[in-house]
Chains A and B, each alone.
Chain A
Amino acid sequence: MEAIARENDLYNASLAGFEQARLDGEPAWLSELRRDAFARFTALGFPTTKEEAWRYTSVAPIAKRPFRPAAKESARLSRRPLPVPLPGGEGARFVFVNGRPAPELSRGSFGAGVVVTLREALRDRPEAVEAHLGRIAGFEKSAFTALNTAFLEDGAFILLPKDTVVEEPVHLVFLSAAGSEPVVSHTRVLVVAEANSQAKIIETYVGDSAYFTNAVTEIVCGDGAVVEHYKVQREGPLAFHVQTIQAAQERGSRFDSHNLCLGAALARTDINVLFQAEGGECSLNGLFVTAGAQHVDNHTLIDHARPHCTSRELYKGILDGKSRGVFHGKIVVRPDAQKTDAIQTNKNLLLSREALVNSTPALEILADDVKCRHGSTIGQLDASALFYLRARGLGEAEARAMLTYGFAADLTSRIRVPWIREEAEAFLGRSLARPSEAS
């Protein structure tokens, strides 16, 4: 505890940086929001494993390291060869480097969707930003969200006007690249899907150096809106990644989340959905694949606050080496959320003796006329299936890869953006075609 408390001082010392983060001519409400957030972060401090939500994930490696604010590095990066290829094929993309917009790497447009930087939105549509920023993802209970809000500099603002369907997926690429020192970037995304609008929104996180990404995404699904959200996180073995994705659903809206965690030293994602009106539907799909000494933690919360909402959740983990995985999925059904229909499933596949996963499904049901189910499994590759494939001529490594690919197939087949599905399958093929790290 003391060690962690000292680490907080490190961030206190960067208070000067916090003051600098203030944007030129930013509105008073934003300055106030930052101050509150910073005060809240100072009060909360970095979470410790004594807190239930962080029981299996120690953020000491993040708290201990002097990550510098990244913004100054970004301008230089865009001029040298990129550390990793940018994903997404030929499609339109909006690229951020170390949290800062990189127009020279961005291309294309997103049809009827308004896709601008947060700074531009603050200048051109301040009322739309003020109505939602910091109001969907609260920082009362989350030190990382508080930290992000306090240090918020820029990000993406996506507005889907009423009744518009944006065909081209809105692809946000967050590339991190440290210079000589490890850097931190507090990326922020705000999506406002107005009534009956529809879009696919993709966030990809890539990079190959030592850095810390602390991201917050807020999504408002208006009446009847349909938002399909993809998070593709594929970072290098030195990267630290924390993100909260918070969706608020209005009447009859639909939110589909696909969360692919394919890399980083330590990655923690919180995906929270709040049904704040009747008749909403959501699906949370997650796949995490880890090896070596990686640590991946996925927390989800589906808050059925209103009646007649449906949620479907499927998370799968594939763990090799000495890696650690955490799944914590909570479904809350509030007292008046009658006719709630919720199913949650978590399945985990351990490919080595030393891999470990902690799976905690949690249902909190306060209404009486509901349909709720949850289940969790942890297993290994089926020895009979492995023999069956080998008896047909497939090598052991190939047979293991095929079974593992099959394990993930119900998730990959749900991905409706072809390049993401192909990339996920290729990733599974590549990382699984090698012999397991099993002893």
Chain B
Amino acid sequence: MLLEIKDLHASVGGNEILKGVDLSVNEGEVHAIMGPNGSGKSTLAHVLAGRPGYEVTKGQVLYKGQNLLAMSPEIRAREGIFLAFQYPVEIPGVSNVYFLKNAVNAIRKHRGEPELDAMDFLKLTREKAKLVDIDEDLIKRPVNEGFSGGEKKRNEIFQMAVLNPTLAILDETDSGLDIDALRTVASGVNQLRSPKRSMIVVTHYQRLLNYIVPDFLHVLVDGRIALSGGKELALELEEKGYAWVEKEPPAPRLGARV
């Protein structure tokens, strides 16, 4: 088991958002987490990445059998966790390549691998840039500064490709994308699917799951996973809306593993 979340409670600014989340992710699995606004989807993503200010009040998270919650955000990243941000941050004055080269080498150093030199790094970025069809000029520009919404999301997936994580958490990577950009981003993600990489795909809309087809789907309602099932659950949700789950949680479906 790669990730094991048990009875996770978390608060932000004194408000309890997660109220007992249980979730298990095996190697190579893709789990989708859906849920209405305010249900705690993004909070879960940020708690897993270690965002300061997100306070875990109860429960535990094991990652590769280790206590994830005791690790700083950078150690989590170096151990292979990657969060694709819903709102990627602009970093004026720092070029994408400079930032990413330092990140890659921080991770390699942690793993006891030799650091990449400028040439090797350039080769790596060129290869990965094709994956999400990202312009080389964009890679040289300051991180996300002046990028369109689609460019920012593509840049997230590009970074994911370069950093080669074991567990990728995509936080509403589809939000604000037109259909063409969504296809490009989803295609990049799909090419990164591998038996050695697990993914948690957080989304509000079922649309993304037409392109990134999950192995499992969970519905988060009011800080708990109210329903789990296979990918077909997405269609049912699309049809009946979240109210269906919110009112009266249906029994667990076949294929669900809680």
Contact = CB atoms under 8 A, between A and B. Distances in A.
Interface of A: 382-385, 387-396, 398-399, 402-403, 405-410
B91 A388 contact: yes
A407 B93 contact: yes
Contacts of B74: 390-391, 393-396, 399
Q: Which of A390, A396, A402, A405 has the most CB of B within 10 A?
A: A390
Interface string B67-87: 000001110111000110100
Interface residues of B, number: 32
B51 A387 contact: yes
Contact of A410 (B78, B89, B93, B103): B93
B124 to A, nearest CB: 15
A392 B77 contact: yes
A382 B91 CA distance: 9
Nearest to A382: B89
B244 interface: no
A388 B92 contact: no
Nearest to A395: B74
B52 interface: yes
Nearest to B87: A384
Contact of A391 (B50, B53, B91): B50
A392 B92 contact: no
A403 B52 CA distance: 17
Contact of B52 (A387, A389, A402): A387
Contact of A406 (B51, B73, B92): B92
A389 to B, nearest CB: 7
26 contacts: A382-B89, A388-B88, A388-B91, A389-B91, A389-B99, A390-B73, A391-B74, A391-B77, A392-B77, A392-B99, A392-B163, A393-B74, A393-B77, A393-B104, A393-B163, A394-B103, A396-B74, A398-B102, A402-B102, A403-B94, A406-B92, A406-B93, A406-B142, A407-B92, A409-B92, A410-B92
B106 A394 contact: yes
The 3 residue pairs across chains A and B that have the minimum distance between CB atoms: A409-B93, A406-B93, A393-B77
A385 B51 CA distance: 11
B110 interface: yes
Contacts of B82: 391-392
A127 B49 CA distance: 71
A388 B93 contact: no
B93 A408 contact: yes
A395 B75 CA distance: 8
A385 B72 CA distance: 16
A391 B73 contact: yes
A306 B92 CA distance: 36
Contacts of B110: 393
Contacts of A403: 91, 94
A389 B103 CA distance: 8
A392 B84 CA distance: 10
A387 B50 CA distance: 9
B166 interface: no
A274 B110 CA distance: 56
A406 B77 contact: no
Interface of B: 49-53, 72-74, 76-78, 82-83, 85, 88-94, 99-100, 102-104, 106-107, 110, 142, 159, 163
A356 B211 CA distance: 52
A390 B76 CA distance: 9
A388 B53 CA distance: 14
A398 B73 contact: no
A321 B92 CA distance: 24
Contact of A392 (B51, B72, B90, B103): B103
Nearest to B81: A391
B99 A396 contact: no
Given A389-B99, A393-B74, A393-B107, A406 B159 contact: no
A35 to B, nearest CB: 51
A388 B89 contact: yes
A391 B83 contact: yes
Given A392-B159, A409-B93, 6 more contacts: A383-B53, A385-B89, A390-B73, A393-B163, A402-B91, A406-B92
B216 to A, nearest CB: 24
Given A387-B51, A406-B94, A394 B102 contact: yes
B51 to A, nearest CB: 5
B1 to A, nearest CB: 23
Nearest to A407: B93
Nearest to A385: B89
Nearest to A412: B93
A239 B163 CA distance: 46
Contacts of A399: 74
A71 B91 CA distance: 49
A192 to B, nearest CB: 37
B159 to A, nearest CB: 7
A402 B99 CA distance: 8
A409 B91 CA distance: 11
Nearest to A383: B52
A392 B91 CA distance: 13
A148 B90 CA distance: 47
Contacts of B106: 393-395, 398
Nearest to A403: B91
A402 B98 CA distance: 9
B93 A393 contact: no
A394 B104 CA distance: 9
Contacts of B94: 402-403, 405-406, 409
Contact of A393 (B52, B90, B103, B142): B103
